[in-house]
Amino acid sequence: MPQTARPERKLILITGIPGTGKTTYGRAFASQYGFAHYDLEVEETLNQLLSDPGRFIDAMLQGEKNVVATWGFLPNEQQVGAVKQFQVKGFELVWFDGNRPAALREFIRRGDVPEILFYVQMYRIEESKVIQRIAPIVINPFDENGKFKDAAIILREIETKG
């Protein structure tokens, strides 16, 4: 009996500027489309990733599900190296950017960290030229009114640009 080819699964790493809904979209992809979601900003998970990126990513890929990982990483050498490991393992790198006033508004609305950290992270992103270094797909998660787009629209944009 001929074996039917399994459609290639989607492997997505969403990163980008603060306040752009990275984790929110990761959770939406999990709940609405059955992706396995890994929030890499959880300290224990981040420590595991950074201790051995290749092994950690291989463990993420053990299942059959589509995978989305979300991470607002620091653009230092260690973390950029980990992002590049995601590329090596077949992940589509997606950078959320675009409407920066809307991102700042969302960052402040969360209220869990001081506003100054938004500006510090933006400075680090610009100074490190991380977008050029990792060459991701760039997606604006906000519509023309500064509201988050529906998860289905974002997923379609990723598939179209990927």
133 sits in which H/E element: helix 130-134
What CATH code is carried by the domain that includes residue 45? 3.40.50.300
Residue of 129, 18, 134, 149 whose CA lies nearest to 86: 134
Domain count, the chain: 1
- Assessment of whether the complete model's pTM goes beyond 0.95: no
pLDDT tens by residue, 18-35: 999 999 999 999 999 999
Return the pLDDT at 7. Answer: 53
Is 2 within the bounds of a domain? no
Is 156 within the bounds of a domain? yes
Averages of pLDDT over each 10 residues, the chain, 162 residues? 58 97 97 96 93 96 94 93 96 96 95 93 96 96 97 96 85
Return the pLDDT at 6. Answer: 42
Is 124 within the bounds of a domain? yes
Phi and psi at residue 107, in whole multiples of 5°?
-60, -45
